[in-house]
């Protein structure tokens, strides 16, 4: 077994943290280096690198807790909005191989940039993408994840330095 990840160490109390919520499956902590004061991480206790690997009921609980924390942030920190997001995979900005939901308190003109330049897609491209995604969603269904599936990753573009990195880069269901 590889060494425990930093988040697992926090979950187990081996690394100190500011816990704002805890139940059997989930813990929420404050980020010391957050985008704004009150930036929180909502974390499944079980080590799961990407969202796809988390069982559906836990995903439900994760976002339920994130929503509650968001409400608490609105009330106590007098903010005007929150961003609730998951960085799922290294290209999406994920830094630790343990999935978490970010809750970021927002105020007008707070200097946090989550904007992106819009892309213009043709009708044909849009239709192709629509079809592909719809088809895949249909075959996945909404049963318990992760599913057993005999499907080989289509490409391995980056070198692999461990199972977690592999999963993060590929965003593939575990075979």
Q: Buried (b) or exposed (e) across 111-149, using 16+ Cβ within 10 A?
A: eeeeeeeeeeeeeeeeeeeeeeeeeeeeeeeeeebeeee
Helix residue ranges, H only, 52-122: 56-77
Give whichever of 47 and 68 is closer to Zn ion, judged by the CB atom.
47
CB of 83 to Zn ion, least distance (A): 23
Query: Please, which residue, 8 or 79, has the CB nearer to Zn ion?
Result: 8
Q: Which residues bind Zn ion (CB under 5 A)?
A: 5, 7-8, 47, 98
Question: Min. distance of Cβ 11 from Zn ion in angstroms?
Answer: 7
Tell me whether residue 54 or residue 79 sits nearer to Zn ion (CB atom).
Answer: 54
3-state SS, residue 41: strand
Rounded to whole angstroms, what are the CA distances from 28 to 6, 9, 61, 74? 14, 14, 12, 16
Beta-strand relationship, 26-30 and 19-22: antiparallel
Q: Which residues pair with 44 in a beta bridge?
A: 26
Cβ-based nearer residue to Zn ion, 7 or 59: 7
For Zn ion, give the closer residue by CB, 11 or 79: 11
Smallest distance, Å, CB 68 to Zn ion? 23
Q: How far is the CB of 8 from Zn ion (least distance, A)?
A: 3
Cα distance between residue 169 and residue 109, in whole Å: 33
Minimal distance, residue 76 CB to Zn ion, in Å: 29
CB count, 10 Å around CB of 36?
Answer: 18
In angstroms, give the least distance from the CB of 20 to Zn ion: 19
Nearer to Zn ion, 36 or 41 (CB): 41
Q: Please, which residues have CB within 8 angstroms of residue 108's CB and are 6 or more apart in sequence?
A: 80
């Amino acid at each position: 077994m590889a060494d425990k990840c930093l988040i697992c160490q926090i979950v187990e109390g081996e690394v100190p943290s500011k816990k704002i919520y805890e139940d059997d499956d989930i813990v929420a902590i404050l980020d010391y280096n957050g985008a704004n004061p009150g930036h929180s991480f909502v974390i499944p206790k079980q080590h799961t690198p990407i969202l796809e690997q988390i069982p559906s009921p836990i995903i439900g609980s994760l976002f339920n807790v994130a929503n509650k924390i968001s409400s608490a942030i609105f009330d106590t920190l007098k903010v005007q909005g929150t961003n609730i997001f998951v960085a799922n995979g290294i290209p999406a900005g994920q830094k630790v191989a343990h999935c978490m939901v970010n809750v970021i308190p927002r105020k007008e003109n707070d200097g946090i940039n989550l904007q992106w330049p819009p892309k213009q897609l043709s009708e044909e491209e849009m239709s192709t993408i629509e079809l592909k995604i719809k088809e895949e969603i249909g075959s996945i269904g909404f049963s318990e994840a992760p599913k057993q599936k005999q499907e080989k990753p289509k490409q391995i573009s980056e070198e692999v330095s461990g199972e977690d990195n592999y999963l993060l880069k590929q965003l593939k269901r575990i075979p």
